[in-house]
Structures are given as structure tokens and as C-alpha cells.
Chain A
Amino acid sequence: MTDDELLVIVGVSEGSSEGCAEGLREGGARVETCVVNANDLATLSAAGVDAVILDVDADPERFVALAAALRQDERTATLPVIARVAPGVAVERVVLLAPSAIATSSSSGAHLLAAVRATGARGDDRAAAAERERDLEDRLRTASGRLDAVGTEARAMAHDARVLCGIVVGYAANLRDEIVGPLEDEQRVHVAQILQATDDLVSLLERFSGAVRATTDAPPSRGGGRSGKPARRVLCNLGELVRGTVGLFDNVAAQKNVAVVLEIDDGLTAWCDPLKCKQVVTNLVVNALKFTPAGGRVTVTLRPQAARPDASGKDARQRVELRVRDTGPGIPAEDRDSVFQRGVRLERDRGLPGSGLGLAVVRDIVAEHKGTAEVEETAEGASLLVLLPTDMRSREGRSLLLVDDAAAAQRIVDAIHKGDGGPAGWRFDARRDSVVDALARCAAVVVVPQGSVPVIDVGPISERPGAPPSSRGAR
């Protein structure tokens, strides 16, 4: 603030703030007074005001709209706003205004001016910090956009390179198989070299694509960084998910004369990314169908993991078992770990279609969900077991679901969180749809019961596994 600082005192009536104004003028400030009206915001912002004093003599609620407008308008958001409170006005009601400082009406002009200057300095710091944060966010957004563009171009190039490799492989294989005429022995060797080199090139492409995926596919974490966490987790009915996905292969199974048996415990749910979990089921079932001979059987089992009384800590989490068994040739014991590696295929399977990616993708997705995937010991065929925790939502991106219809309360909670360096709370009103929608995305739920909140159906909250007791029956 400068020597030429201009303060505006907003009072509840004409002339009510003159006493206060006089004290401030004696301290050397230019002071104007006006009557509270949210529409005055444009006037306040345009007049080069350095600070606003809300002269709260009786009824803080009359200032809520103006205080909110000051905070939300970028021209006034960093202005010091001092609440000058008359005796008898409850401080908890003044807090609704989220002022920069609170002074009593008995404070002298000099004290009030000192408060204005102190908060003004803090406001300048906050403004500079906010500017730096905006600048960083802009740079991060630009970098992220560039990374996405590089990823898109890299994927397109990998795709086109695969298509070109396909043409080379196609013609070379036609020569090898003498589709267009017989080959001399030496020509046969040359064709084999072409096929081998193309195979190596495809392996290289696979490594390249894997690196691109690892760099660009992870969803942005809070603050714009990237992590390997699932894009989203919602509460899924696993029985429906597994049944619906396996059903996609009815035609394939019928054509191969393979029976598909479902053994599903209905009612099992888990917090997971449903699309990714469908991919897990798809890859396991495609794998099983591929290796099961005609007349064979693929059995898909979904059930809760048996109780483990000795387990503790993370190991004690409730998990579900997804097991896919087949009656194919099985997986040799020495290969049971390597089949989950990207690009690895068993020697005996090299003549069959496939890229060696299916089970690697299963392992990656299951790992993202803090689960495990393994090949089980079995007397017949192969048995792949996926263990998936039912509730492993991330605690890093904590979100607060505030059920309150008072806009002022939401702003206060938001301010508290920002001051903490914690995540900003989500702003929701108490309409049922908003709450249910928010529940699907929230990692943690805090319900703030308020007498004034309209009654909502809290079924989804109280039914939610792990819901805090305080939320039950909230209004």
C-alpha cells in the first residue's frame, strides 16, 4: 500500500461508518464510505481501492454476498477485507465473510489502519504466490500438451510401421511358402533372413510402443504430474462385469466347440476401473479359448477369497478371486512367471497368433489395482488366478464431499483446505443427484450435517462400504 491509499468502509446505512472513517483519516488514509450492496463491486474494483472495511454492526449475513463477490472477482480477490465487528455480534457468524482480519468496533483508527496494512502485505505475498502458481500451472499444461502430442504421433508412427512390416512379412511368407513359384535353396535362406529381420523389427517396435505407453498413458495426477494409477475407480458389481464380458465370447466358444462355464458368487463388488477390469477378463478368456482344444472347457470363477486369520496390515484386506481355468496344454512350471512379461511367448506357441501382450496387460492392470496375478499349480490345463482387493481407492487424492447448501460454508472449507496445502474440497449442493455422482468419484467422504440442509436420501452413503459412522443418517 502507498501513502495515497484509498480505503472504503462499507456500512449498513448512510453515515453509519463516519466515526470510523474519521479515525482512519487522522491516520493519513483517504477514506470513502458506502452502503452495503453487492452491486457496488464494479465501483470498488474500478476505483483503485486498496482495502475494504466491512462495518458489521449487527447483521453479518447482509455482507455475505458482497464478501463473496470480492473474493471471486480476480480484480479484488487479493484486496484486504477487514471485518469491523460491533460488540454482541457472534464471531462465528462473521467467519462466514472469510475476512482477512477481524477488528472490534472499539479499535482506534491507528489500530485499524495497522491491521489494514498488515493484511495488505500478506495479500501482496498471496498475490505473488498465486501468480507463481499460475505460471507453473501454465508451463506444466504446455509441457503436458506437448507430451500428449508426441505420444499421439509416436503411436501413429508405430501403427503405420506395423502395417508396413505386415506387407513385408506377407510377401516374404508367400515366397517362403512358394505361393508364387518354387525357390532355390539360397533364395529360401534369403527369405528366412528377411522374415527374421522383420520379426526383430517388430520386437523393437514393441519396445518403443511400451516406452511410449509408460510415458504418456498414465493419467495426470494432482498438480499435473503423471503416475501409474488407474484413471478412475468406481464401485462395480463384479459378477455383472465378469458375466457380461465372458458373454462376448459365446460365439467364439461355440465355433471352437469349447464349453464356457461360469461360477459366479453374485453380489461381489470392488472399487475398480471397470473398463480396465473388463480388459483383464477379456485377455484371460481369449487366452484360455485360444489354447483349449475342441471339446474342452473354460471355467471362469469369481468368489471372495477365503478368510486368512494370519494375515495382517495390507495383506488383511478383503479380496476377490477371479480364476480362469482351461483344459488346454497348460503352462510349464518353469514358464509360470515369464508368461506375464511383455512380449514373451512360449516356444511351442510361436506358430499361433498372438503378440505376447495379453497376460502382461493383465499383470499391469491388476498391479494398478494393488492386486496380484499368478499361474496356479493344476492337474489339468492352465489356471490363472487374479486377486483383487475390494477397496483400494487411492488416499493420495483425498477429496472432501461437503454436503451443505450454504455457499459460504463451502467457501470456508475450501479456504481451510487451500491453507493446509491439502486438496481443494469439491463444491456440491445437497441435491441427491450431486451427492450420488460425487460418491462415485470421492476417495473420502465427509458429511457436514446442517440443520438447514434439505433432507436427502442418504441410502447410497450409508450403504457404501467403509462409510464413516458420522455420515449415517445425516441430514
Chain B
Amino acid sequence: MSTRPLHVLLVDDNPKALEPLEIRLKALGHRTTLAHNGEIAIAMVERDPPDVIVMDVTMPELNGYQACRAIKRIAPKIPVLILTGKTEAADRFWAFQSGADEFLNKPVDPAVVVKTIAALLGKP
């Protein structure tokens, strides 16, 4: 990934779910912020815009699709990677319909997530 340290916003209501990814990103020298639902994520984007967002779908208050739509309205250039255990074909469709830039299913190797983030930021 890029040599420049990135700020990655991780959004998931289950703090354990993205913990391995958080550990990996930190080990690679990046900064991570955690949000436990879509509303908190939107507030964080407004307060401290990240370079990239990794977002779960099934969350209380505001789900990942709704949060993605809202974030794309206020910060359209920040890439959003949807990372979910929802595997229906319609989930992928709604993710892109909501403005997401990439869609991955859990479980996923965090190395693949790191590669995908690099691709989204145009830094192979």
C-alpha cells in the first residue's frame, strides 16, 4: 500500500468483526478510527474526513447502505468499501446503488482488504 500513512474509518456495530483488520492496518503504519453505526460514521466524516471507509451493512440506527448514501452526498470522493456477511445478489446491487466503490463479503482475508483499499486509492 501507499507509503503515506492513511486514515481508515472502520464502521461496524460488532467491534470484534473488524479488529483483525484494524490491527493489520495499524501494524502497516496507518491510522484507524472506529464507528459503531452509520450515524456516528457520518459525524466522523464531517469532523475528520478519512482517506477511505470500510463499512458493514447490518447496523442499528442507520445501516451501511443509508450511511454510504449520506456520506457520498457530503464527501463524494472518499472511497467506500462495503464489507458484509450479506451474500444475496441484491446486496451487491444495493451497495453500488448506494454509491459504494467496492463490495466484499465476510469472511475475507484482511490482506485482500488492504489490497482493495490500495486499488481504490489508485496506489497498487
Contact = CB atoms under 8 A, between A and B. Distances in A.
Q: Do A and B come from one complex?
A: yes
Interface of A: 158-160, 162-163, 165-171, 173-174, 177, 179-180, 198, 202, 206, 209, 213, 248-249, 251-252, 255-257, 275, 278-279, 282-283, 286, 351-353, 355, 357-358, 361, 365
Contacts of B93: 275, 278-279, 282
Given A159-B58, A159-B86, A252-B102, A166 B122 contact: no
A361 B79 CA distance: 26
Contacts of A286: 92, 96, 103
Contacts of B16: 167
Contacts of B112: 351-353
B108 interface: yes
A162 B109 contact: no
A177 B111 contact: yes
Given A169-B20, A279-B92, A351-B112, 16 more contacts: A159-B86, A162-B85, A163-B17, A166-B17, A169-B107, A170-B107, A170-B109, A170-B110, A173-B20, A173-B109, A173-B110, A213-B88, A248-B96, A248-B97, A249-B96, A355-B87
Contacts of B14: 163
Contacts of A256: 119
Contacts of A355: 87, 105
A174 B90 CA distance: 31
22 contacts: A159-B58, A162-B87, A162-B106, A163-B17, A163-B107, A165-B107, A166-B85, A167-B17, A169-B20, A170-B18, A170-B110, A174-B23, A179-B27, A180-B23, A180-B27, A209-B87, A248-B97, A252-B101, A255-B119, A279-B92, A353-B116, A358-B92
A177 B23 CA distance: 12
Interface residues of B, number: 39
A339 to B, nearest CB: 16
Contacts of A361: 89
B107 A202 contact: yes
A353 B108 contact: yes
Contacts of B24: 170, 173-174, 177, 179
The listed residue with most B CB atoms (<10 A of its CB), out of A167, A255, A282, A353, is A353
Contacts of A251: 99, 101
A337 B92 CA distance: 23
A355 B108 CA distance: 10
Interface string B25-56: 00100000000000000000000000000000
Contact of A255 (B79, B104, B106): B79
Given A279-B93, A353-B112, A361-B89, A162 B105 contact: yes
B107 A168 contact: yes
A52 to B, nearest CB: 54
B20 A159 contact: no
A70 B108 CA distance: 65
B21 interface: yes
Contacts, number: 111
Interface of B: 14, 16-21, 23-24, 27, 58, 79, 85-90, 92-93, 96-97, 99, 101-112, 116, 119-120, 122
A168 B19 CA distance: 11
Contacts of A202: 107
Contacts of B122: 255, 257
The 10 closest A-B pairs by CB, nearest first: A170-B20, A162-B85, A166-B107, A166-B106, A165-B107, A361-B89, A169-B107, A159-B85, A248-B96, A179-B27
A434 B59 CA distance: 40
Contacts of A358: 89, 92
A188 B85 CA distance: 27
A158 B85 CA distance: 8
Contacts of B90: 275, 279
A56 B68 CA distance: 69
Contacts of B107: 162-163, 165-170, 198, 202
Contacts of B20: 167, 169-171, 173-174
Contact of A357 (B87, B102, B104, B108): B87
A255 B110 contact: no
Contacts of B27: 174, 179-180
